[in-house]
A and B are shown apart, each in its own frame.
Chain A
């Protein structure tokens, strides 16, 4: 059984929604990314999404755009991220999802990427600008290597598209909570529960909700009807504000994620 599936099984027994946290690799440098991931795991985060920086992050709001720019300023690339995954895997079983835009994966070579990602110990791949219609070439290799293929669904997705994603996805389905880019929002007014239910009618896979989640209150609300709560920009903002005060920043990350993790218990 894959680590993602196993983790969801384990959490179901604890009656907890998975807390999945996103960090951009190399923001502000790859060593700190590694330390941040250790802190995340120690403070109750169940899976991590590692973002591969890209020059043109079209689906991201200002916070993650800036993180991407900081990571690119020190030339972080997919070739740095795979060894990072390997180092994490040497001491931890936390499921790792590689998250990014297609061009860096395409440029690396889809077959080579899938093989190297599996060898490094990654568990799933989510490419934001790769809907099922275009995913064929990457999916074939990713599936061959036994990695999960995670796809997005949005409030604008029709029943037809929910069906298509259900047929192509594995691991879990990632629901974008808002029609918009990534970024923390104080309120999420869309009827997400209904969307999650519509997806669950068509798929047996766990369903996670992300984009805009920034507080324990929101996390608890989402945990009540979904299988995973995904937090990105709110965490990246803490990293951004860290500056030279790294220990203090790591402390704030821990207390923030401990609070989120507690909120994920139903």
Chain B
């Protein structure tokens, strides 16, 4: 696998990834975004910032997470050799903690005493509430009213961790509206408040910052696969909602053009039904939540509701860097239906004894399609982004 000499340098100073990204926010927030960008750049150049994050990732979150050779799955599919990057084993049960630790430490450096976040399924909310408890910050989580009902357990977890959960009743009462409400809070309380965005979405510098914090996934995976196999994998597969776990796995490999990267979106009922979250596969370019990116929208530019059995993929936008990767051909984006994801959820549980999150099950479902036709010398790494305990209730009513 030869290294290419391509140099990837996005985003530019304004936060653009080619035509995507940027800062589409009202003037009130611009100074706050510029302040955040400067603080982040300053921190990123400071060794103690990285040391502090590394300390928490190792001692508190349990990193590095294993890169597990899934022998039974490999044998059952009879093709490529499959490895699972076990983000489900990180503290709070998903990759989300990598980002909240990073932003939490930055919040501490900036001297803000209040943290807010949006959450859909509640995983990012739990990871944020966890870090707020750890760092002793006031914490408010915005969550669509619909989602608070679907994810009662996570609401309780957040409260237990000392956070206030504010149900959002505007719009579709889901993740996108929770993000609108968090932005409104930030505009109003910008002087003392740090907004921890949970994905590689939102205005600059969030997509870059979250990418950097999640890249620990790909850096570890690269080191681990080289140690185990002495070569890079052929294919990386991860699910994409906003796209932070996929970005975390893919980004350290971005200059390795010999490594194929596949992002798996949620096709919901089906792409034809209109009830899906396949933003890149079936959407069009627009502006939402501060950045230009692929969106689900109608012909008037109104953002449409997304659908997926996995609440964490139920978002009508996607991180702008993924939109760039799509147009530049760096990553292949495919989609998997609710039904295929549920089947993969059961499959991995039975075959490997690992219950994946329904989001993660989308990546597993796609690997079931491609692995059999690959050769045993080829290697696939799946980002096993989260554990499925939170989904037991949903899954038990559907399987």
Take A107-B286, A133-B22 as given contacts and tell me if A58 and B184 are in contact as well, using a CB distance cutoff of 8 Å: yes
A179 and B300 form a contact (CB under 8 A): no
Which partner residue on chain A sits nearest B33 by CB separation?
A131
B288 and A103 form a contact (CB under 8 A): yes
**Inside 8 A of B14's CB, which chain A residues have their CB?**
133-134
A104 and B32 form a contact (CB under 8 A): no
Say yes or no: is A256 at the interface (Cβ < 8 Å to chain B): no
Looking at the assembled complex, report how far the CB atom of B84 sits from the nearest CB atom of chain A, in whole angstroms: 36
**Inside 8 A of B183's CB, which chain A residues have their CB?**
58
| A62 vs B290: C-alpha distance when bound (angstroms) | 20
A56 and B289 form a contact (CB under 8 A): yes
Looking at the assembled complex, report how far the CB atom of A72 sits from the nearest CB atom of chain B, in whole angstroms: 6
| A134 vs B171: C-alpha distance when bound (angstroms) | 26
| A244 vs B260: C-alpha distance when bound (angstroms) | 61
B302 and A106 form a contact (CB under 8 A): no
Say yes or no: is A180 at the interface (Cβ < 8 Å to chain B): yes
Q: A132-147: which have CB < 8 Å to B?
A: 133-134
A180 and B187 form a contact (CB under 8 A): yes
Say yes or no: is B76 at the interface (Cβ < 8 Å to chain A): no
Contact with A along B275-305 (1 / 0, CB 8 A): 0000000000011111000010101111110
Interface size on A, residues (CB 8 A): 44
* Contact with A131, one of B25, B177, B301 (Cβ below 8 angstroms): B25
| A165 vs B27: C-alpha distance when bound (angstroms) | 10
A154 and B171 form a contact (CB under 8 A): no
Of A59, A65, A101, A129, most buried by chain B (CB within 10 Å of CB) is A129
| A75 vs B26: C-alpha distance when bound (angstroms) | 25
Interface size on B, residues (CB 8 A): 35
* Contact with B27, one of A54, A106, A131 (Cβ below 8 angstroms): A131
B288 and A134 form a contact (CB under 8 A): no
* Contact with A56, one of B27, B30, B171 (Cβ below 8 angstroms): B171
Say yes or no: is B50 at the interface (Cβ < 8 Å to chain A): no
Partner-binding segment picked from A5-13, A27-35, A156-164, A258-266: A156-164
A181 and B188 form a contact (CB under 8 A): yes
**Inside 8 A of A55's CB, which chain B residues have their CB?**
171, 302-304
Say yes or no: is B346 at the interface (Cβ < 8 Å to chain A): no
Looking at the assembled complex, report how far the CB atom of A133 sits from the nearest CB atom of chain B, in whole angstroms: 6
Take A106-B287, A129-B290, A179-B28 as given contacts and tell me if A72 and B302 are in contact as well, using a CB distance cutoff of 8 Å: yes
| A43 vs B304: C-alpha distance when bound (angstroms) | 39
Say yes or no: is A77 at the interface (Cβ < 8 Å to chain B): yes
Say yes or no: is B170 at the interface (Cβ < 8 Å to chain A): yes
| A107 vs B297: C-alpha distance when bound (angstroms) | 9
**Inside 8 A of A176's CB, which chain B residues have their CB?**
26-28
**Total A-B residue contacts, Cβ distance less than 8 Å:** 124
| A28 vs B249: C-alpha distance when bound (angstroms) | 48
Q: A84-124: which have CB < 8 Å to B?
A: 101-108
Say yes or no: is A192 at the interface (Cβ < 8 Å to chain B): no
B27 and A153 form a contact (CB under 8 A): yes
Say yes or no: is A78 at the interface (Cβ < 8 Å to chain B): yes
**Inside 8 A of B304's CB, which chain A residues have their CB?**
55
A102 and B31 form a contact (CB under 8 A): no
Looking at the assembled complex, report how far the CB atom of B80 sits from the nearest CB atom of chain A, in whole angstroms: 41
Take A56-B303, A72-B302 as given contacts and tell me if A152 and B27 are in contact as well, using a CB distance cutoff of 8 Å: yes
Q: A56-86: which have CB < 8 Å to B?
A: 56-62, 65, 69, 72, 75, 77-79
Contact with B along A156-186 (1 / 0, CB 8 A): 1110010001000000000010011100000
Which partner residue on chain B sits nearest A60 by CB separation?
B184
A134 and B24 form a contact (CB under 8 A): yes
**Inside 8 A of B299's CB, which chain A residues have their CB?**
107
**Inside 8 A of B170's CB, which chain A residues have their CB?**
62, 65, 69
**Inside 8 A of A220's CB, which chain B residues have their CB?**
none
Of A58, A69, A108, A153, most buried by chain B (CB within 10 Å of CB) is A58
**Inside 8 A of A77's CB, which chain B residues have their CB?**
300-302
B22 and A134 form a contact (CB under 8 A): yes
Pull 18 A–B residue pairs with CB atoms less than 8 Å apart, ordered by A. Answer: A55-B171, A55-B303, A56-B171, A58-B26, A58-B180, A60-B184, A61-B184, A72-B302, A78-B301, A79-B300, A104-B300, A106-B287, A107-B300, A128-B26, A130-B24, A131-B23, A131-B26, A154-B28
Instruction: In the A-B complex, list the 4 residue pairs whose CB atoms are closest, starting with the nearest.
Output: A107-B301, A77-B300, A104-B301, A180-B188
Interface positions of B (Cβ within 8 A of A): 14, 22-28, 30-32, 170-171, 176-177, 180, 183-184, 187-188, 190-191, 286-290, 295, 297, 299-304
Beyond A57-B180, A62-B170, A133-B23, 12 additional pairs, beta carbon < 8 A: A54-B302, A56-B303, A58-B184, A65-B170, A69-B171, A77-B301, A105-B301, A107-B286, A156-B190, A161-B27, A165-B27, A180-B28
